[in-house]
Structure 1
Amino acid sequence: MAEKLTIMAMGAQGDGLASHDGQTVYVPGALPGETVRATLDDARAHDVEIVTPSAERVSPSCPHFGDCGGCSVQHWADPPYRAWKRQLVADALSRQGIETKVASLVPGTPRIRRRATFSVLRRPEGVRLGFQREGSHMIVDTTDCHVVDPVLNRARGALKALAKAVLPVMKAAAKPVSMTVTVTQTGLDVAVAGDFTLSEPGRQAAIGIALKANFARLTVRDEALAETRKPAVSFDGIAVGLPPGGFIQATARAESAMRDLVTGHMQGARSVADLFAGCGTFALPLARLARVHAVEGDRASLAALDAAWRAASGQKLRRVTTERRDLFVRPVTAKELDSFDGLVFDPPRAGAEAQAHQIAGSGVKRVAAISCNPATLARDLAILTGGGYRIVTVTPIDQFLWSPHVETVALLVR
């Protein structure tokens, strides 16, 4: 039986929130202030019909919206959408007892995402390549994603041919394979990962497809099948050769905004520690200002960072040293950190709780914390403020347009 609901607010995952029989109900595709009619399955609404639309509702630009799980709020006007994303960060901080001003959201832009991970299935009727429908393995075969760089959309034919070559025909309930594609300065870097066996005919076919499509590199299940040129990116004008699966920020625009905030905060520092350094997104630009010690758990990423620093002899970079270290198992201790007067950390979504405790006990004067997860960032900032740090600024950045994900840079001083 359909129930009539009034949407009171927008939830953290982009669902409208309503109340029914004292229970919060999550209503996908609904906006605050709207009246809807929907069937209920516990706390989840289905078959949602908009009875009274919000004045803030806009027509989604993408024909796949509502089906594809990649975007959740493409139907919301920009001003309330941006305010909601900023509020996600403010609310996460408030839950940890942190009351501080959160800057306006640095806005995102359509069609600039340079890195995307597509889900792929090969079925008897053909290959499906796109993003999964929310809560299922069903892949929506997006023909023209409005978030990613057009180069990725134009590569769909070659990517599907590649999937057909390397993947066996899969059952309906099979878990999709992932295909991470990165737009680099030298071409597409394609990495296929998942639970399947690559046959020798498949290997040879894949190499042929990669060469014909002019991919810079093709890696299948950690095996580099073809590399006609090293996939390369630039971190503020410093060239870096990406290792297979190497992490870079999803958009160059967000990366630039983060880098400007971090380097601005580190002005005057003589030595900086960069924890979870990756391939050098922050470490290399910071070397223009100070000596940098980059700590990262991935060997290939550290090697790429070191090679980039050594090749940038004309950039007048200060010394960059590297250390391979699993910071979740063995965080850099407070005593070790006392030799630095600046510190940057950019952990995965899980945050850096153990490392934050060590930072809180150190004498480092300036800290820049970067995170794609407001909840774990807030937890880590609470540790730092409890240890004597003061938050200077918190800036949310819309790197993941029309999704509930938000990047944040927090700057602190002791």
Structure 2
Amino acid sequence: MAARRDGAPRRRRLRRRRFRCAHPRSIGERPVSDTDLIVRIAARGDGVTADGRHVPLSAPGDRLLSGGGLAKGPHHVDPPCRHFPECGGCQLQQLSDEAFADYVRDRVAGALTGQGLTAQEITPPHISPPRTRRRASLRALKLGKRNVQFGFSSQGSHRMIDLQQCEILEPRLFALVAPLRALFARMLPDRQPGEADLTLVEEGVDVVLTGLAAKSLAETEMLLDFAQQNRLARLMLIEDDAPLTLWEPDPATVRFGDIPVAFPPRAFLQATRDGEAALVEEVRHALGDAKMVADLFAGLGTFALSLANDVPGRKVYAAEAARDLVLALQSGGNRLPGRIFPEHRDLFRRPLTPKELDRFDAVILDPPRAGARDQVEQLAASQTPLIVYVSCNPASFARDAATLVQGGYAIERVKPVGQFRWSTHVELVATFRRVT
């Protein structure tokens, strides 16, 4: 009897706790204090309460309930995609448009604050619309004779999400999901992974496949039929880490301003045309009438080629470490004789020195996610009057910004850009002007 009396109340208490978590509103619970209010979204996407607790899948204005549930606030919306939150393509579909824009801006402002910095102006962010992503890497896994999962990885794991809907991909990319799933089902070895890199170029969709091999005439014809039926711009296979072009009726190109540029396979390209245009316009605004411009980490020429013709007599030096990108940029630059001066140069190993930098009226800096510590140190020691820093990582940007400020630059203006809709990935353009 004693054991039953001791055990029964415990079982009843457990049942009540489960009931409160499952149905918080049905028993009239209310938040106990304002410390339960979600006040912001942290860098990795969790909501944060006023007293510092992290709450996944919450939005500003939500409240934690005393029993453990969540009362949704005005900025908590229904996710538009059936795969959220399992799919790793998005982390913030529960946010309203206003809350997501605030998140993008706060990521940039918070990174600066963390370094003890302030900007004279942080503009409203630019947010790319849904269904505009023009590049994606999708994974394939064959689980049986005809059973293939094809899509993004699950959030924080290698588990596959078999993509049936996507609110971020440009429709021409998503239209290839079903045909690619069928192709992998026919050609991918059982229990083997595959991958498809998709990029929207001027001629259509460029597709690079990994995990498949054309070992016979029949397999080659199958791949060619696939390319023709889906009107691909190019179809390539990666075999032994080397690309093999199977289909390319016309050279695959991208366009910067009015200049077409050859597109090397899997080359870097801004995630959306819309976001690229916002970045270019902000850099254009910052450069003003500068005539001697350096574009460091120039890539294919996103900024060099787009901005070279803005000002009569402008000349742009463009430094890039990847040889295939330099060759493509040089080919595009030939259409602007006397304007573009590319150099194959690894700026991590051999950054431009202050003596070299002092020749320019302005420097555009667009480094990888890790930033450009060594090049920034050289810039901080230079007398270059204007630096326009394009970043895809607010944290490394803020670190580099601190170096520039210590060297005598002021942060004049920052433009946050959210190309990766519903993602924690944030970009920006910052204008630095020398004041001492």
Q: Give the TM-score, by structure 1 length.
A: 0.87
CA 1:333 to 1:225, structure 2 compared with 1: closer, same or farther past 3 Å? Answer: farther
Verify: 1:267 aligned to 2:288, yes or no.
yes
Verify: 1:296 aligned to 2:324, yes or no.
no
CA 1:35 to 1:261, structure 2 compared with 1: closer, same or farther past 3 Å? Answer: closer
Residue 163 (structure 1) aligns with: 184
Residue 16 (structure 1) aligns with: 47
Equivalent AA in structure 2 for residue 399 of structure 1: Q
**In structure 2, C-alpha distance between the alignment counterparts of 1:61 and 1:109, rounded to whole Å:** 13
Residue 339 (structure 2) aligns with: 319
Residue 43 (structure 1) aligns with: none
Structure 2 residues not aligned, in runs of 5+? 1-16, 22-30
From 359, 366, 384, the counterpart of 1:364: 384
> Once the two structures are superposed, what CA deviation does each residue of 1:282-320 show, in whole Å capped at 9, x if it has no partner?
01122213111111111111111111122x35xxx6421
- For these two proteins, the number of residue pairs brought into alignment is 392
Question: For the aligned residues, what is the CA RMSD?
Answer: 2.5
> Once the two structures are superposed, what CA deviation does each residue of 1:42-81 show, in whole Å capped at 9, x if it has no partner?
xxxxxxx844222221111112121212111111112222
**Paired residues for 1:212-231 under 5 Å:** 212-221=229-238, 222-231=243-252
> Once the two structures are superposed, what CA deviation does each residue of 1:129-152 show, in whole Å capped at 9, x if it has no partner?
211111111121222211111111
Equivalent AA in structure 1 for residue 84 of structure 2: F
Higher strand share: 1
**In structure 2, C-alpha distance between the alignment counterparts of 1:335 and 1:260, rounded to whole Å:** 29
What SS is found at the alignment partner of 2:152?
strand
Residue 62 (structure 2) aligns with: 34
> Once the two structures are superposed, what CA deviation does each residue of 1:245-297 show, in whole Å capped at 9, x if it has no partner?
12111111111111111122222222111111111000112221311111111
- Cα pair 2:60 2:99 within 8 Å, conserved: no
**In structure 1, C-alpha distance between the alignment counterparts of 2:186 and 2:367, rounded to whole Å:** 36
Equivalent AA in structure 2 for residue 391 of structure 1: I
Residue 200 (structure 1) aligns with: 215
- Cα pair 1:188 1:231 within 8 Å, conserved: no
> Once the two structures are superposed, what CA deviation does each residue of 1:297-348 show, in whole Å capped at 9, x if it has no partner?
11111111111122x35xxx64211111222222222222122221111111
Residue 234 (structure 1) aligns with: 255
**In structure 1, C-alpha distance between the alignment counterparts of 2:339 and 2:258, rounded to whole Å:** 17
Residue 171 (structure 2) aligns with: 150
**In structure 1, C-alpha distance between the alignment counterparts of 2:209 and 2:380, rounded to whole Å:** 40
Residue 44 (structure 1) aligns with: none
> Once the two structures are superposed, what CA deviation does each residue of 1:101-121 show, in whole Å capped at 9, x if it has no partner?
321111221111111122222
- Cα pair 1:7 1:31 within 8 Å, conserved: no
Equivalent AA in structure 1 for residue 135 of structure 2: R
From 89, 95, 100, the counterpart of 1:76: 95
**In structure 2, C-alpha distance between the alignment counterparts of 1:121 and 1:385, rounded to whole Å:** 49
Equivalent AA in structure 1 for residue 400 of structure 2: D
CA 1:53 to 1:209, structure 2 compared with 1: closer, same or farther past 3 Å? Answer: same
**In structure 2, C-alpha distance between the alignment counterparts of 1:351 and 1:296, rounded to whole Å:** 15
**In structure 1, C-alpha distance between the alignment counterparts of 2:54 and 2:208, rounded to whole Å:** 35
Verify: 1:104 aligned to 2:104, yes or no.
no
CA 1:362 to 1:265, structure 2 compared with 1: closer, same or farther past 3 Å? Answer: same
Residue 46 (structure 1) aligns with: none
**In structure 2, C-alpha distance between the alignment counterparts of 1:78 and 1:213, rounded to whole Å:** 34
**In structure 2, C-alpha distance between the alignment counterparts of 1:322 and 1:187, rounded to whole Å:** 28
- Cα pair 1:351 1:376 within 8 Å, conserved: yes
Verify: 1:305 aligned to 2:305, yes or no.
no
Residue 227 (structure 2) aligns with: 210
- Cα pair 1:191 1:220 within 8 Å, conserved: yes
> Once the two structures are superposed, what CA deviation does each residue of 1:5-28 show, in whole Å capped at 9, x if it has no partner?
946342211112359xx9x65432
- Cα pair 2:209 2:237 within 8 Å, conserved: yes
> Once the two structures are superposed, what CA deviation does each residue of 1:364-412 show, in whole Å capped at 9, x if it has no partner?
1111100111001111111111111111110001101111111100011
- Cα pair 2:118 2:411 within 8 Å, conserved: no
- Cα pair 1:147 1:401 within 8 Å, conserved: yes
Q: Give the TM-score, by structure 2 length.
A: 0.83
> Once the two structures are superposed, what CA deviation does each residue of 1:84-117 show, in whole Å capped at 9, x if it has no partner?
2101100001111111232111122111111112
- Cα pair 2:60 2:76 within 8 Å, conserved: no
Structure 1 residues not aligned, in runs of 5+? 40-48
Find runs of 4+ consecutive structure 1 residues off by over 6 angstroms. Answer: 1-5
Residue 389 (structure 1) aligns with: 409
CA 1:7 to 1:66, structure 2 compared with 1: closer, same or farther past 3 Å? Answer: farther
- Cα pair 2:42 2:48 within 8 Å, conserved: yes
